[in-house]
Structure 1
Amino acid sequence: MREDVDARADLRYGTLPGLVRAAARRYGPREAVAEGRTRVSYAELGERVERAAAACIASGITPGDRVAVWAPNTLDWIVSALGAVTAGAVLVPVNTRFKGTEAAHVLHLTRTRLLFITGTFLGTSYVAALRRVRSQLPCLEQVVVLSDSAPEGYRTWKEFLADGDRVTAEEVWRRAASVPSTAPSDIIFTSGTTGHPKGAVITHAQTLRCYGVWSALAGLREDDRYLIVNPFFHTFGYKAGIVACLLRGTAMVPQPVSSVDTVLANLTAERISVLPGPPALLQSLLDHPACSAQDMSALRLMVTGAATVPLELVERLRTELGVGTVLTAYGLSEASGLVTMCRRGDAPETVAMTSGRAIPDTEVRVLAAPDEPGEVLVRGHHVMRGYFEDPEETAKVLDAQGWLHTGDIGVLDAAGNLRITDRVKDMFIVGGFNAYPAEIEQLLCGHPDLAEVAVIGIPDRRLGEVGRAYAVRRPGSSLTADDLIAWARREMANYKVPREVVFVPELPRNAGGKVLKSTFRCA
């Protein structure tokens, strides 16, 4: 049965630049972004995006060039990203938790020409981190610091925008109109079992169609106020956040950090009605001692996923916070971030125990008998065209019939609801962030005192899962667990850092030499 969702957004707007322009016209005086004391209407947002696009064109960006943003959730992220896309560029969001070497890998792989970067965030100088690896990035021609000051060789945001004054609005929209809906709009990076990041290439049409469906199924409204805690570098923050709000005329309240204290303050001060987020954040919100004293009566919609959602959590959100709609969903970067979703009106048990049913015009299969676990396969309009310039890795996950082999293990019930039970690739999820053991192991092995290491996910009450490393020291080493964890915090994103380290004399292996991680899981 065909579901009652809005007419396809890809046909209505064509491309993301088309959506931005249409939203500016349709929702003109309505508030688009609220950032502290700064309030920007949809008409003003459209003007800012147009000016950023003009600056991109003035700086020599041409259609198809890659432009990256390495910054937290802010108004400037929204404007710089949408400006780049309006100029015909392909957006490369960079994880703010990455260290310099991790970010450099993504920038080098995509041959990024222009990078927008934050100055200092959470006590870390991103500019300093970039300068240490700049020699590895011969294609990176320009760096724009989203700040009022910048070191020599870099430009400030204001200086960059000023350069675009010589480009007319007509030139900007001629450029935007020349971008076909089938062109790539972004490259979202994920990691595979090899530990090497791979960029999923998604088009304008795929993004618009997918998040037109998402916003309709979620019931996002023009009068909503949406607290975007999910990071913009992630599909869910960017597309279920920024793009969905543009589609519906919803006010965006970007939050740079996922602090529960800040969430509580924003929920009250901004009269937030929509709050998507990982289960760990929602659980921490409910458990916060000040939660019951806050006025959150405007809150009506929550969407979560990425991990098992306890039934108790769903019931507490509905009873203690009075949230009318709590939904869960499942997706992955290779399928535009959305595969299945619960529907409004689903029973709490369905929301908690499953990730809902396939979104319209999407096929989901499980390679197993009914009600038995097997690998989840997906086919539909939102499946990536492939990994960026990596046909070999693409062929491993996309078969000749167009099925995407997700690497996740799941069970389909009689109603078509999907329940994810395991991960073929050993991935585990730390507070909503995907953590890949092979990648973490590769980074840990950079420590001079480690001979080898194996990482698994273990349960954690607050974050859902965290990493535990089984490590083999080099002969003569006196390396301690605290030493290794401290070193790891300097070398990798925080969610990747193992919370526990167990030293072992050797790693258990099978006859073929493969590490038997099942031994550790049973320990």
Structure 2
Amino acid sequence: MDETIPAAVRRAAQRFGAATALVEPGAGRWSFAGLLDEVRTVARAFLASGIRPGDRVAIWAPNTAQWLFAALGASYAGATLVPVNTRYRGAEAADVIGRSGARALIVTGPFVGRDRLAELAATDTPLPDLVVRLPEWAAFLHRAGEVPVEEADARADAVRPDDVSDILFTSGTTGRSKGAMSAHRQALGVAGAWAEIGGLGPDDRYLVVNPFFHSFGLKAGILACLLSGATVVPMPVFDARRALELIEAERITVLPGAPTLYISLLDHRDRAAHDLSSLRLAVTGAATVPPTLVERIRSDLGFTTVLTAYGLTEAVVATMCRPGDSAEIVTHTNGRAAAGCEVRISEHDGEVLLRGPNVMLGYLDDPDATADAIDEDGWLHTGDVGRLDEQGNLIITDRLKDMYVCGGFNVYPAEVERILAELRGVGEAAVVGVPDKRLGEVGKAYVVPRPGHGVSVIEVIEFCRRHLAGYKVPRTVELRRELPHNASGKVVKYLLKEGPAR
């Protein structure tokens, strides 16, 4: 397998040629050969703009063809990619762009009512030397005429497998984000493993809802398709109705996502009006996945294969179910070790530990945090609590930091959330520990009712009482319209206490 991203782009053009690599509805369609041409042009424009090997190129934009061209073009030019979360506000983006030392910034124009470049400028943070707004993309590409194709190819040839391909900043659910660095060989290794397990091939059309700035959208999305010949169909903002339309119009076969994505499709009133028969592969994780949801993904959406997986920015994919696994394995575990990863459980506190070829190189400019995360034996400490069954399947039970102690007993919120997911009227739930004078901490549940279904506070508490020991039952319940999520679909629990609109 090719071990650098530039080599993978050229290899894909050779292998898949005229096959469709990318479809952006309303914007265009590109073959794999055409993709190589676009990537070379972007690389030449970067070279003409003074980007040197190892320079960092930040991209702050939604899922579009231009994002993909910019990212692969930066790699082709020998630069390191720094994706920026589109949900960030100006100060957050400035922090990431500044800490990464980015010399170039590709930024969207006005998008969902926000002008991100104006937000960034308002922070008074110095901008990178090169700033390209996507509305001026054509003018940027015009610079490519100053650099011959041969020079861009030579730059691509000089990229080595151990060079840093990307710096992905963590979601920051428990504090300031950290930049996890990966090498080209790692990015492609994990993408290839994911594609192989999912059985991706040239007949697949992959609706990439997961953000490109996230490890899943970039590596299990763009790079997985590049290696397998599958077609990327990017979706800038998830909208259930638009997703249903695209599935039908583009004959989508592969649609991974967080549980909330599938719930939105299942509960949409127009679902039955769309032909979803092309769907074959669903891959989910990132949150509690109740068995009833997996069953509905199969029966109501028509996916022939539903897999669950576990990963994190620092290792991307660690475990994954396999096609043919029993319903019991898929609904109750996150599968077995994947992509050459080793998995073990700490005897001290039940923490999930990972070791393998795709564990990050380290955190950018933060040796202390790196040493805290990866021990002397190379084990990555994930912060998740779990166990392994007899077949080696991983069952995540909670986050170490989410656990609370009620009256002397440990309570793992994920266990309570799994129970709540079985209550018919509950669309989503999150449980946190809150202070209590008598018991130390007690549970508080935040519940989002399913569309078209009502659920009351009393119903929630009574349901928990029937299924859980008393100390695990939430003492209070708050009904909300939605919960705050990060890019990977995980609920950001510290934001629950900040009081979003109910």
TM-score where L is the length of structure 1: 0.78
- Number of the residue aligned with 1:367: 346
Aligned pairs for 1:69-468 within 5 A: 69-133=59-123, 135-137=124-126, 140-147=128-135, 156-191=136-171, 195-335=175-315, 337-368=316-347, 374-426=350-402, 458-460=446-448
| Cα deviation code 1:308-367 (max 9, x no counterpart) | 1111111112112221100010001111x1000000011122111111000152210111
**By how many angstroms is 1:500 displaced?**
5.5
Unaligned runs of 5+ in 2: 404-412, 418-429, 433-442, 452-480
**By how many angstroms is 1:456 displaced?**
8.8
**By how many angstroms is 1:142 displaced?**
1.3
State how far apart, in whole Å, the 1-side matches of 2:490 and 2:186 are: 31
The one-letter code matched in structure 2 to 1:380 is G
State how far apart, in whole Å, the 2-side matches of 1:332 and 1:406 are: 8
- Number of the residue aligned with 1:27: 16
**By how many angstroms is 1:193 displaced?**
7.5
- Number of the residue aligned with 1:520: none
The one-letter code matched in structure 2 to 1:141 is D
RMSD across aligned C-alpha pairs, in angstroms?
2.7
State how far apart, in whole Å, the 2-side matches of 1:115 and 1:348 are: 45
The one-letter code matched in structure 2 to 1:375 is E
Q: Residues 113, 306 of structure 1: CA spacing in aligned structure 2 closer, same or farther, 3 A cutoff?
A: same
The one-letter code matched in structure 1 to 2:227 is L
Retained in 2: the 8 A contact 1:412–1:418?
A: yes
Aligned partner of residue 124 in structure 1, secondary structure: coil
Retained in 2: the 8 A contact 1:308–1:353?
A: no
**By how many angstroms is 1:426 displaced?**
3.6
State how far apart, in whole Å, the 1-side matches of 2:105 and 2:262 are: 33
- Number of the residue aligned with 2:5: 16
The one-letter code matched in structure 2 to 1:281 is L
The one-letter code matched in structure 2 to 1:26 is R
Q: Which moved more, 1:183-192 or 1:242-251?
A: 183-192
The one-letter code matched in structure 2 to 1:400 is E
State how far apart, in whole Å, the 2-side matches of 1:73 and 1:460 are: 27
State how far apart, in whole Å, the 2-side matches of 1:208 and 1:502 are: 41
Q: Residues 494, 377 of structure 1: CA spacing in aligned structure 2 closer, same or farther, 3 A cutoff?
A: closer
| Cα deviation code 1:128-149 (max 9, x no counterpart) | 112212x3236x11110011xx
Retained in 2: the 8 A contact 1:97–1:494?
A: no
Aligned partner of residue 307 in structure 2, secondary structure: strand
- Number of the residue aligned with 1:68: 58
**By how many angstroms is 1:194 displaced?**
6.2
State how far apart, in whole Å, the 1-side matches of 2:179 and 2:259 are: 26
Aligned partner of residue 164 in structure 1, secondary structure: helix
**By how many angstroms is 1:33 displaced?**
1.0
**By how many angstroms is 1:457 displaced?**
8.0
Q: Residues 49, 501 of structure 1: CA spacing in aligned structure 2 closer, same or farther, 3 A cutoff?
A: closer
Q: Residues 425, 55 of structure 1: CA spacing in aligned structure 2 closer, same or farther, 3 A cutoff?
A: farther
Aligned partner of residue 314 in structure 2, secondary structure: helix
Q: Residues 461, 63 of structure 1: CA spacing in aligned structure 2 closer, same or farther, 3 A cutoff?
A: farther
The one-letter code matched in structure 2 to 1:31 is T
**By how many angstroms is 1:261 displaced?**
1.0
**By how many angstroms is 1:262 displaced?**
1.1
Q: Residues 19, 334 of structure 1: CA spacing in aligned structure 2 closer, same or farther, 3 A cutoff?
A: same
State how far apart, in whole Å, the 1-side matches of 2:173 and 2:270 are: 41
Q: Residues 97, 193 of structure 1: CA spacing in aligned structure 2 closer, same or farther, 3 A cutoff?
A: closer
**By how many angstroms is 1:459 displaced?**
4.8
Unaligned runs of 5+ in 1: 1-11, 148-155, 438-454, 464-484, 504-523
The one-letter code matched in structure 2 to 1:142 is L
The one-letter code matched in structure 1 to 2:374 is L
State how far apart, in whole Å, the 1-side matches of 2:183 and 2:369 are: 19
- Number of the residue aligned with 2:469: none
TM-score where L is the length of structure 2: 0.81
State how far apart, in whole Å, the 2-side matches of 1:277 and 1:502 are: 26
The one-letter code matched in structure 2 to 1:250 is A
Retained in 1: the 8 A contact 2:286–2:490?
A: no
- Number of the residue aligned with 2:476: none
Q: Residues 232, 25 of structure 1: CA spacing in aligned structure 2 closer, same or farther, 3 A cutoff?
A: same
| Cα deviation code 1:88-130 (max 9, x no counterpart) | 1110000000000000000010111100000011111112112
The one-letter code matched in structure 2 to 1:188 is L
Aligned partner of residue 14 in structure 2, secondary structure: helix
- Number of the residue aligned with 1:510: none
